[in-house]
Amino acid sequence: MNILITGGAGFIGSHVVRHLVTKYPNYNIFNLDVLTYAGNLENLKDIQSADNYTFLKVDITDEQSINRLFIKHKFTGVIHLAAESHVDRSIKEPLAFAKTNILGTIVLLNAFKSLWQNNWEGKRFYHVSTDEVYGSLGKTGLFTETTSYDPNSPYSASKASSDHFVRAYGETYGMPYVISNCSNNYGPNHFPEKLIPLFINNIINNKALPVYGDGLFTRDWLYVKDHAVAIDLAFHKGENGETYNIGGFNEWTNIDLVKILCTLMDDKLGRKEGTSLKLITYVKDRPGHDLRYAIDASKINKKLGWRPSVTFEEGLKKTIDWYLENKEWLNNITSGDYQEYYNNQYN
In the complex, the smallest distance separating the C-beta of residue 121 from ligand NAD, rounded to whole angstroms, is: 27
87 binds, among ligand NAD, ligand DAU, none (CB under 5 to 8 A by kind): ligand DAU
Toward ligand DAU, which CB reaches closer, 33 or 132?
132
Residue nearest to ligand DAU (CB): 130
262 binds ligand NAD (CB under 6 A): no
> With CB under 6 A as the contact rule, which of the stretches 165-173, 183-191, 248-256, 263-271 interacts with ligand NAD?
183-191
100 binds ligand NAD (CB under 6 A): yes
* Catalytic residue flag (residue 155): yes
Active-site residue, from 131, 226, 251, 290: 131
159 binds ligand NAD (CB under 6 A): yes
39 binds ligand NAD (CB under 6 A): yes
Toward ligand NAD, which CB reaches closer, 32 or 279?
32
Binding site for ligand DAU (CB under 6 A): 85-87, 130-132, 183-184, 194-195, 198, 210-212, 217, 219, 254, 286, 293
* Catalytic residue flag (residue 88): no
Write the single-letter amino acid at 319. Answer: T
Toward ligand NAD, which CB reaches closer, 83 or 279?
83
Among all residues, which ones are annotated catalytic?
Answer: 131-132, 155
Q: Which chain residues interact with ligand NAD by CB under 6 A? A: 6-7, 9-13, 33-36, 38-39, 59-61, 81-85, 100, 104, 128, 130, 159, 182, 184-185, 191
